[in-house]
Amino acid sequence: MTILFIADIVGRPGRTAVERGLPRLREQRDVDVTIANCENAAGGFGVTPEIARELLDQGIDVLTSGNHVWDKREIYEYLEREPRLLRPANYPAENPGRGVFYGRAGSARIAVLNLQGRVFMAPLECPFRMARRLVREAEERADVVFVDFHAEATAEKVAFGWHLDGLVAAVIGTHTHVRTADARILPGGTAYLTDAGMTGPADGVIGVRKELAIERFLRQTPNRFEVATGSTRLQGAFVVVDDAAGKATGIEPFDLAVEVA
Protein backbone atom coordinates (compact mmCIF):
# COMPACT_ATOMS: atom_id res chain seq x y z
CA MET A 1 0.00 0.00 0.00
CA THR A 2 1.19 3.51 -0.83
CA ILE A 3 -0.10 6.34 1.35
CA LEU A 4 0.22 9.92 0.13
CA PHE A 5 0.26 12.47 2.95
CA ILE A 6 -0.11 16.17 2.13
CA ALA A 7 1.30 18.60 4.69
CA ASP A 8 -0.73 21.44 6.25
CA ILE A 9 -2.73 23.20 3.53
CA VAL A 10 -2.59 26.98 4.00
CA GLY A 11 -5.22 29.24 2.46
CA ARG A 12 -6.19 29.56 -1.18
CA PRO A 13 -2.59 29.15 -2.42
CA GLY A 14 -2.38 25.81 -0.63
CA ARG A 15 -5.74 24.66 -1.96
CA THR A 16 -4.75 25.64 -5.51
CA ALA A 17 -1.46 23.77 -5.07
CA VAL A 18 -3.39 20.64 -4.13
CA GLU A 19 -5.74 21.01 -7.07
CA ARG A 20 -2.89 21.41 -9.56
CA GLY A 21 -0.24 19.25 -7.94
CA LEU A 22 -2.18 16.21 -6.74
CA PRO A 23 -2.49 14.64 -10.23
CA ARG A 24 1.31 14.99 -10.68
CA LEU A 25 1.96 13.26 -7.37
CA ARG A 26 -0.38 10.42 -8.29
CA GLU A 27 1.49 9.97 -11.57
CA GLN A 28 4.68 9.39 -9.59
CA ARG A 29 3.24 6.58 -7.50
CA ASP A 30 0.40 4.09 -7.55
CA VAL A 31 -1.30 5.81 -4.60
CA ASP A 32 -3.88 3.82 -2.61
CA VAL A 33 -4.83 6.38 0.06
CA THR A 34 -4.46 10.18 0.18
CA ILE A 35 -4.50 11.99 3.55
CA ALA A 36 -4.11 15.75 4.04
CA ASN A 37 -4.05 18.13 6.99
CA CYS A 38 -6.57 20.93 6.33
CA GLU A 39 -6.69 22.94 9.57
CA ASN A 40 -5.34 26.12 7.89
CA ALA A 41 -7.13 25.74 4.56
CA ALA A 42 -9.59 28.64 5.09
CA GLY A 43 -7.60 31.87 4.93
CA GLY A 44 -4.86 30.32 7.06
CA PHE A 45 -7.13 29.66 10.05
CA GLY A 46 -9.54 26.74 10.21
CA VAL A 47 -11.60 25.06 7.53
CA THR A 48 -15.17 25.51 6.28
CA PRO A 49 -17.61 22.84 5.08
CA GLU A 50 -17.30 24.15 1.52
CA ILE A 51 -13.51 23.91 1.55
CA ALA A 52 -13.55 20.45 3.13
CA ARG A 53 -15.93 19.22 0.44
CA GLU A 54 -13.74 20.81 -2.24
CA LEU A 55 -10.68 18.93 -0.98
CA LEU A 56 -12.55 15.63 -0.65
CA ASP A 57 -13.96 16.03 -4.16
CA GLN A 58 -10.41 16.38 -5.49
CA GLY A 59 -9.70 12.84 -4.32
CA ILE A 60 -8.39 13.25 -0.79
CA ASP A 61 -9.66 10.30 1.23
CA VAL A 62 -9.18 11.63 4.78
CA LEU A 63 -8.69 15.14 6.15
CA THR A 64 -6.83 15.56 9.45
CA SER A 65 -6.56 18.77 11.44
CA GLY A 66 -5.32 20.31 14.69
CA ASN A 67 -5.88 23.18 17.09
CA HIS A 68 -7.17 25.56 14.39
CA VAL A 69 -9.98 23.24 13.32
CA TRP A 70 -12.28 25.11 15.76
CA ASP A 71 -11.62 28.57 14.24
CA LYS A 72 -14.64 28.52 11.91
CA ARG A 73 -17.84 27.95 13.84
CA GLU A 74 -19.65 26.64 10.78
CA ILE A 75 -17.44 23.56 10.71
CA TYR A 76 -18.82 22.20 13.99
CA GLU A 77 -21.96 20.59 12.56
CA TYR A 78 -20.01 19.32 9.55
CA LEU A 79 -17.50 17.59 11.85
CA GLU A 80 -20.41 15.64 13.33
CA ARG A 81 -21.67 14.28 10.02
CA GLU A 82 -18.52 13.88 7.89
CA PRO A 83 -16.40 10.95 9.12
CA ARG A 84 -13.61 11.78 6.65
CA LEU A 85 -12.84 15.06 8.45
CA LEU A 86 -11.02 14.43 11.73
CA ARG A 87 -10.22 16.60 14.73
CA PRO A 88 -7.61 15.57 17.33
CA ALA A 89 -8.99 12.65 19.33
CA ASN A 90 -7.67 13.92 22.67
CA TYR A 91 -9.92 16.99 22.81
CA PRO A 92 -12.78 16.56 25.32
CA ALA A 93 -15.36 14.07 24.08
CA GLU A 94 -18.13 16.68 24.31
CA ASN A 95 -16.66 18.47 21.28
CA PRO A 96 -18.12 17.65 17.86
CA GLY A 97 -16.45 15.20 15.55
CA ARG A 98 -14.10 12.27 15.96
CA GLY A 99 -10.38 11.59 15.91
CA VAL A 100 -10.31 8.23 14.14
CA PHE A 101 -11.31 7.18 10.62
CA TYR A 102 -11.78 3.59 9.49
CA GLY A 103 -11.89 2.72 5.81
CA ARG A 104 -10.55 0.44 3.10
CA ALA A 105 -7.84 0.67 0.47
CA GLY A 106 -8.37 -2.21 -1.90
CA SER A 107 -8.40 -5.36 0.19
CA ALA A 108 -6.70 -3.71 3.18
CA ARG A 109 -8.38 -1.98 6.10
CA ILE A 110 -6.89 1.30 7.25
CA ALA A 111 -7.30 3.43 10.36
CA VAL A 112 -6.24 7.09 10.45
CA LEU A 113 -5.66 8.59 13.90
CA ASN A 114 -5.38 12.32 14.63
CA LEU A 115 -3.89 13.46 17.95
CA GLN A 116 -2.50 16.72 19.31
CA GLY A 117 0.53 17.40 21.48
CA ARG A 118 0.50 19.31 24.77
CA VAL A 119 3.91 21.03 24.95
CA PHE A 120 3.36 24.77 24.26
CA MET A 121 -0.23 23.90 23.36
CA ALA A 122 -3.57 23.32 25.11
CA PRO A 123 -3.53 20.97 28.14
CA LEU A 124 -5.51 18.18 26.50
CA GLU A 125 -5.82 14.56 27.52
CA CYS A 126 -2.48 12.76 27.28
CA PRO A 127 -1.91 11.90 23.59
CA PHE A 128 0.54 9.14 24.49
CA ARG A 129 -1.96 7.22 26.61
CA MET A 130 -4.85 7.90 24.26
CA ALA A 131 -2.84 6.78 21.23
CA ARG A 132 -2.09 3.43 22.87
CA ARG A 133 -5.79 3.00 23.68
CA LEU A 134 -6.88 3.88 20.15
CA VAL A 135 -4.29 1.55 18.64
CA ARG A 136 -5.58 -1.32 20.77
CA GLU A 137 -9.10 -0.58 19.57
CA ALA A 138 -7.89 -0.54 15.97
CA GLU A 139 -6.23 -3.95 16.18
CA GLU A 140 -9.41 -5.81 15.25
CA ARG A 141 -10.60 -3.24 12.71
CA ALA A 142 -7.55 -2.24 10.68
CA ASP A 143 -4.54 -3.80 8.99
CA VAL A 144 -2.72 -0.47 8.68
CA VAL A 145 -2.72 2.41 11.20
CA PHE A 146 -1.56 5.90 10.17
CA VAL A 147 -1.13 8.71 12.72
CA ASP A 148 -1.04 12.50 12.20
CA PHE A 149 0.50 13.92 15.38
CA HIS A 150 -0.17 17.67 15.45
CA ALA A 151 2.34 19.14 17.87
CA GLU A 152 4.69 22.07 18.47
CA ALA A 153 7.74 20.61 20.23
CA THR A 154 10.09 18.40 18.26
CA ALA A 155 11.05 16.46 21.39
CA GLU A 156 7.42 15.57 22.05
CA LYS A 157 7.01 14.40 18.46
CA VAL A 158 10.15 12.27 18.52
CA ALA A 159 9.11 10.69 21.82
CA PHE A 160 5.65 10.02 20.41
CA GLY A 161 7.14 8.26 17.40
CA TRP A 162 9.21 5.98 19.62
CA HIS A 163 6.17 5.41 21.83
CA LEU A 164 4.24 3.96 18.88
CA ASP A 165 7.12 2.26 17.07
CA GLY A 166 6.06 -1.20 15.96
CA LEU A 167 2.41 -0.53 16.76
CA VAL A 168 1.47 1.65 13.77
CA ALA A 169 2.60 1.96 10.15
CA ALA A 170 3.40 5.68 10.32
CA VAL A 171 3.64 8.68 12.62
CA ILE A 172 3.81 11.93 10.66
CA GLY A 173 4.12 15.25 12.49
CA THR A 174 2.27 18.41 11.50
CA HIS A 175 1.68 21.96 12.82
CA THR A 176 5.03 23.79 12.55
CA HIS A 177 4.88 24.17 8.74
CA VAL A 178 8.65 23.64 8.45
CA ARG A 179 9.67 20.32 6.92
CA THR A 180 12.25 18.38 8.91
CA ALA A 181 15.00 16.19 7.45
CA ASP A 182 14.58 13.14 9.67
CA ALA A 183 12.33 10.81 7.64
CA ARG A 184 13.16 7.22 8.55
CA ILE A 185 11.81 3.79 9.39
CA LEU A 186 12.11 3.14 13.12
CA PRO A 187 13.38 -0.29 14.25
CA GLY A 188 9.87 -1.65 14.86
CA GLY A 189 8.71 -0.81 11.33
CA THR A 190 7.03 2.58 11.84
CA ALA A 191 7.66 5.32 9.27
CA TYR A 192 8.46 8.55 11.09
CA LEU A 193 8.83 12.25 10.15
CA THR A 194 8.87 15.02 12.76
CA ASP A 195 7.10 17.52 10.48
CA ALA A 196 5.87 17.09 6.92
CA GLY A 197 6.07 20.82 6.17
CA MET A 198 3.44 22.98 4.51
CA THR A 199 1.39 23.19 1.35
CA GLY A 200 1.13 26.89 0.62
CA PRO A 201 3.10 30.10 0.01
CA ALA A 202 6.82 29.69 0.56
CA ASP A 203 7.71 33.40 0.48
CA GLY A 204 6.12 34.19 3.84
CA VAL A 205 6.59 33.10 7.44
CA ILE A 206 4.99 29.66 7.77
CA GLY A 207 2.33 30.83 5.32
CA VAL A 208 1.78 34.36 6.68
CA ARG A 209 2.82 37.56 4.90
CA LYS A 210 6.39 38.12 6.07
CA GLU A 211 6.03 41.83 6.81
CA LEU A 212 3.11 41.12 9.17
CA ALA A 213 5.03 38.40 10.99
CA ILE A 214 8.10 40.61 11.32
CA GLU A 215 5.97 43.47 12.65
CA ARG A 216 4.57 41.25 15.39
CA PHE A 217 8.06 40.17 16.44
CA LEU A 218 9.27 43.78 16.46
CA ARG A 219 6.33 45.29 18.32
CA GLN A 220 5.22 42.33 20.45
CA THR A 221 1.59 43.36 19.94
CA PRO A 222 -1.20 41.60 18.03
CA ASN A 223 -1.87 42.29 14.38
CA ARG A 224 -4.03 40.65 11.77
CA PHE A 225 -2.24 37.87 9.89
CA GLU A 226 -2.91 37.38 6.19
CA VAL A 227 -1.91 34.50 3.92
CA ALA A 228 1.22 35.23 1.92
CA THR A 229 1.49 35.23 -1.85
CA GLY A 230 4.29 34.34 -4.25
CA SER A 231 5.99 31.00 -4.87
CA THR A 232 4.03 28.02 -3.60
CA ARG A 233 5.15 24.56 -2.51
CA LEU A 234 3.27 21.32 -2.09
CA GLN A 235 4.99 19.26 0.60
CA GLY A 236 4.36 15.96 2.33
CA ALA A 237 5.50 12.35 2.11
CA PHE A 238 4.85 9.02 0.44
CA VAL A 239 4.70 6.11 2.88
CA VAL A 240 4.94 2.55 1.54
CA VAL A 241 3.43 -0.11 3.78
CA ASP A 242 3.38 -3.89 3.80
CA ASP A 243 -0.33 -4.08 4.59
CA ALA A 244 -0.13 -7.78 5.47
CA ALA A 245 2.26 -6.96 8.31
CA GLY A 246 1.06 -3.41 9.01
CA LYS A 247 4.66 -2.19 8.85
CA ALA A 248 6.25 0.52 6.74
CA THR A 249 8.88 -0.40 4.16
CA GLY A 250 9.64 3.11 2.93
CA ILE A 251 9.09 6.82 3.46
CA GLU A 252 9.93 9.52 0.92
CA PRO A 253 9.24 13.22 1.61
CA PHE A 254 8.47 15.42 -1.38
CA ASP A 255 8.65 19.16 -2.08
CA LEU A 256 6.87 20.17 -5.27
CA ALA A 257 6.85 23.68 -6.75
CA VAL A 258 3.38 24.58 -8.04
CA GLU A 259 2.45 27.61 -10.14
CA VAL A 260 -0.72 29.11 -8.68
CA ALA A 261 -0.77 32.63 -10.21
Strand-by-strand arrangement of the 144-150 sheet = 100-105, 108-116, 144-150, 170-174, 191-193, 184-185
* Cα–Cα separations (whole angstroms), residue 151 to 50, 54, 133, 240: 26, 26, 19, 23
Name the residues annotated as catalytic.
Answer: 68
